[in-house]
Amino acid sequence: MAILLEKEMNTDVTRIHPDKTVKFAGQILKAVNIGCMVVVDDAGKILGILTERDIVQKVVADGYDPKTTPVKEIMSKDVITMDKKRTVEEAIDLMEKNKIKKIPIVDKGKLVGIVTMTDLMKTLRKAESTGKAKNG
């Protein structure tokens, strides 16, 4: 049985405006205890994704000032999204193919959730233990 992303996604997506500073973003990541946030414009359109890795590799390692560097300068811009009606298995395949760990989930182009590789692995383990996953 296929497990749809809409059943497993986290709908409490932390968003940030591209003009906010990296320091502000880092404070939110710490306060909410998360590893990424979706960068959106005023209309809610997805512009990018900001991860802890982006901050470490593009700000800390390169010596930029997090107090003055805007999120838009370091965010990952080529964001891969998936429709909420796609399956957990499809999401895992897409993550492996593209070497990513997080996928924003959309419905008719609008951000409605996010899934991480960790979330999806937990879902599969749970499904296996309850006999809902396909045997293959």
Q: Is 94 exposed, middle or buried (0-12, 13-18, 19+ CB in 10 A)?
A: middle
Residue 136 banded pLDDT, cuts 50, 70, 90? very low
Start-to-end CA span in the chain (Å): 12
Mean pLDDT on 7-14: 95
pLDDT tens-place string over residues 87-126: 999 999 999 999 999 999 999 989 999 999 999 999 888 8
Return phi, psi of residue 21, to 5°. Answer: -80, 160
**Mean of the per-residue pLDDT values of the chain:** 93
Q: How far is CA 52 from CA 29, 70, 71, 126, 129, in A?
A: 8, 15, 12, 28, 32
pLDDT over 60 at 134, yes or no: no
pLDDT over 70 at 1, yes or no: no
pLDDT tens-place string over residues 58-92: 999 999 999 999 999 999 999 999 999 999 999 99
Q: Which residues make beta-bridge pairs with 87?
A: 4
Amino acid identity of 68?
T
pLDDT tens-place string over residues 16-62: 999 999 999 999 999 999 999 999 999 999 999 999 999 999 999 99
Amino acid identity of 95?
M
CA distance 79 to 13: 15
Q: How far is CA 113 from CA 68, 95, 117, in A?
A: 29, 16, 14
2: helix, strand or coil: coil
The per-residue pLDDT for 135 is 46
The per-residue pLDDT for 96 is 96
Domains and CATH numbers, the chain: 5-130 (3.10.580.10)
